[in-house]
Chain A
Amino acid sequence: MTNTSKSAATAQDDHPWPARRRWMAVLARATSADLESLLSGVDLPPYTVLRGPEDGLVMVRGRAGGGGAAFNLGEMTVTRCAVRTAEGLVGHAYVAGRDRRQAELAALVDAMMQDPARAPALEAGIIAPLEARHLSRRSARAAKAKATTVNFFAMQTTRS
């Protein structure tokens, strides 16, 4: 699992729709509570559910040494949903865990984000705030972990 950054960077350069990848990632990391509250002021279009929300297992795969043989890392629970708005936009969501409401809302926002007329408002009102919350949660967690860092170099000097 070392040296994965090289193949990840190449995969990102070739991605056909990087902006969509980013907002889908933000939606997948949001909680349904956050999504509900941010969407409460938004005019949601009528939509039909094409599939789900349903949960299942996904086998996560890795590559030995970054570019070698594929192997099964382990199974994770994923909940997915696909919706179609009345205008015909299809949105998809695959989220970790079992939160069906999150999957459905994420799919709906994915559909709405594909409408260029609505996207800027949604970006400002939903995606950017969710991304900011996720980053602040992450940096808080990192700060806690940093406080437990052991400085091995210091240990070495005390021994000699």
Chain B
Amino acid sequence: MDQKSLIVAGVDIGAATAKAVILERNNILSFSVLPTGYSVSQAGESVIRKALEKATLSFDDVQYIISTGYGRRGVSFSNRAVTEIICHAAGVSSIMPQARTVIDIGGQDSKVIRLDDSSNVINFVMNDKCAAGTGRFLEVMAGVLDVKINDMGPISLISKDPCEISSTCTIFAESEVVSLRAEGRGREDLLGGIHKAMSHRVVIMGKSIGFRKDVVFTGGVAKNVGIKEAMEDEIGLQILIPEEPQIMGALGAAMVAQADLEKLEKRS
């Protein structure tokens, strides 16, 4: 392997899933997504090995690694740990440089990040202490309504009269949904209401720092078209979604790794 190949990796250990991206001079060679499971260090190792395998590379080929996500400090093989807020911003900016707002909804947190015209983070808000407005909220609701996570978005779009879910707490919202279900409300209306309620939590949080276009939506929840539309309605701006929204943190980590490595090479 050529020493100048500049192969770097980003590893994002989220609450629900671990992600890895292998990057060479701004080109994504491969990526992988695995459940985090109970061990952060094991998740980090498995997810990078899987990504390397896809790219037919070995661990020794990678010259620099940045870890991110809530488990970033548990990745023993990384050169540096960087927060997921910085990495999501870097990941999105690398493929959508026009982005000025990033909404990220992951398994157990949500955040809104504002970027300046040079794509620097200039403001952010984050919710990581309450399940409302996170992927976990959707998982709980999917369980109550016996629907697959991936089907929630398309089903909700059929609704013409989404329910009003007033509770801001996942547990109380679950009770509310159960009551509405008992009243005979259709699944599509319930899902429409759930998406509106969840979007509302995230939008209220984001309004404290403001939304500016282009608004980009990342994280596993960005795959839910119902949430995207509910947020667009509330913000009044079009929301863009990257092709692989779940790996933006890992991609950003890899971009930071590339920048770090370039700096190191310049110094030497």
Tell me, yes or no, whether A binds B: no
Residues of A participating in the B interface, judged by any CB pair closer than 8 Å? none
